[in-house]
Chain A
């Protein structure tokens, strides 16, 4: 089955700086890669996703890149704000399952 690794486990940045979170996956057949944001005590919410036929996708301050050859994908947040502070999860969809990374706790200091 799919195995997803996520780094770093914690990330602290100054407001206005960029944040990058990286994930690797093992199943070359994986074709869908969502990113979720989970604020403390709340439910995960999809913030952006990318499919295997696309190399990059952007939505305002958030972008995701995918390198199928290397089997890794990354989340980029620019101009970070305190409200970006949360745990971020990557995931990869294999044939029939969805595996999640362990999460990255992002703290944006004002």
Chain B
């Protein structure tokens, strides 16, 4: 298996633009997580899905952020409109059957909002 796949790896955009980050979890994994990592705030869990259903989105910073998982092999994290303070590395991770199973992280998307 190729592991968790994220695209793009790097994204540079201007303030106010819409940004869409993509993730393909490991095949057969029921859980998918979106994290954000910054120097100031460290690693934060934004939202996670179980069998494509959002379970906890309490970490989503504000309404500008939204996440979807239309099927078991694809998820998106969208920021609209983007702001400079959204600049961070966004990681997607997946785990087999429980939040307490080993989470495998993707390579991350480095987002820079100018």
Q: Which residues of A contact B105 (CB under 8 A)?
A: 43-45
Which of chain B's residues has its CB closest to A45's CB? B105
Separation in Å of the A99 CB from the closest CB of chain B?
Answer: 7
A59 interface contact, C-beta 8 A: no
Which of chain B's residues has its CB closest to A44's CB? B105
Count residues of A near B (Cβ-Cβ below 8 Å). 21
Q: Which residues of A contact B100 (CB under 8 A)?
A: 31-32, 49, 51, 93
Q: Which residues of B contact A99 (CB under 8 A)?
A: 45
| The stretch of A13-21, A73-81, A100-108 that contacts the partner chain | A100-108
A25 interface contact, C-beta 8 A: no
Q: Which residues of B contact A1 (CB under 8 A)?
A: 58
Q: Which residues of B contact A51 (CB under 8 A)?
A: 100
Which positions 59-110 of chain A face chain B at CB distance < 8 Å?
Answer: 89, 93, 96-103
Contact with A along B92-113 (1 / 0, CB 8 A): 0000000110110111100000
Task: Give the distance in Å from the alpha carbon of A90 to the alpha carbon of B18 in the complex.
Answer: 33
User: Quick check: B42 and A98 within 8 Å, CB to CB?
Assistant: no
User: Quick check: B43 and A46 within 8 Å, CB to CB?
Assistant: no
Q: Which residues of B contact A49 (CB under 8 A)?
A: 100, 102
B residues whose Cβ falls under 8 Å from a Cβ of A = 33, 42-45, 55-56, 58-59, 91, 99-100, 102-103, 105-108
